Amino acid sequence: MENYHTHTRRCCHADGEDRDYVLKAIDEGLTVLGFSDHTPWPFENPGKKRGRMYPQELGDYVSSVRSLRDEFAGKIDIRLGLEVEPYVEYYGWLKEHVEKFSIEYLILGSHYLTTEEEMFLGKRCSASDMIVSFENTRKAVETGLFKYICHPDLVFNNYPVFDENCISASRDLLALAQEHRIPVEYNTSGFIKQERGLVKGLGYPTEGFWDMAQDYDVDVYIGLDAHSPYFISRERYQKASEYLKSKGLHVINP
């Protein structure tokens, strides 16, 4: 079992120390744990509520992950990554820091439509918002920087029904993934949100999206999207793997 989607307390909406995630991953039988906390951006306003580390925290993040990789060598393979918004206008800055800190991989996670970040897509997303979100994702994917697309069905989380708008949005994204040979993520953290009563719509993973995925030549990563050690679960992982295989989908990290 391999998970490449793990956060840290630096993003201000995750709990636990970095080492706690590693210990839980070992306990649950993972062979690979990839840290991919939300990347900082140079435009971040220190006075604004944030959902990511500040640029000056990136060095500490990298040092911590590397130290854990050395400490637990032979027990689990630790990887160093970042989860990145589709803010392509800042990708020059991003590339410089990826090279400077020898970041091993990037995953693409779209949560907002603009850098103003006034609306979380998992909370409210209209049909027109889905179109904008897709265009942002398309531009980011075309850069070729990413290992996979995170929670591609997040936009449906609080949308009421899987209607023609959802079908169109799913078709566009799956066709994009197929064209660019970039995998999509089956994100199990959505189940925890449902368990906690935080979903008022379709939720994610969204059944309709994954039904449609069967008709496209796309690969899938299972992502635990761990915001606390609790999210790292062999049971949830195995259920996800069984579900995806039952649909005939190719899982890269089964």
Domain ranges for the chain: 2-251
HSE of 237, CA atoms in CB hemisphere, 13 A: 23
For residues 155 and 52, give the distance between their C-alpha atoms in angstroms, rounded to a whole number. 20
Report the first-to-last Cα separation within the chain, whole angstroms: 6
Percent of the chain with pLDDT over 90: 91
The pLDDT-based confidence of 47 (bands split at 50, 70, 90) is low
Res 144: pLDDT: 98
When pLDDT is averaged across residues 172-192 and rounded to a whole number, the result is 97
Residue 203 Ramachandran class (φ > 0 left, ψ -120 to 50 alpha, else beta)? left
Element spanning 83, H or E: strand 77-84
User: With contact defined as beta carbons under 8 Å apart, do 130 and 153 qualify?
Assistant: no
- Domain 2-251 fold is TIM Barrel (3.20.20)
When pLDDT is averaged across residues 165-194 and rounded to a whole number, the result is 97
The pLDDT-based confidence of 102 (bands split at 50, 70, 90) is very high
Res 151: pLDDT: 98
The pLDDT-based confidence of 10 (bands split at 50, 70, 90) is very high
When pLDDT is averaged across residues 90-110 and rounded to a whole number, the result is 98
Tokens 């991919």 label which residue? 36
HSE of 38, CA atoms in CB hemisphere, 13 A: 21
> What's the pTM value of the predicted model, to 2 decimals?
0.96
pLDDT tens for 124-155 read 999 999 999 999 999 999 999 999 999 999 99
Residue 176 clears pLDDT 90, i.e. is over it: yes
Element spanning 93, H or E: helix 91-100
Task: Give the Cβ contact number of residue 39 at 10 Å.
Answer: 26
Collect all residues with Cβ–Cβ distance below 8 Å to 188 and sequence separation of at least 6: 205, 222, 223, 224, 225, 231, 233, 236, 237, 240
Residue 187 clears pLDDT 80, i.e. is over it: yes
Structure tokens at 62: 């990298």
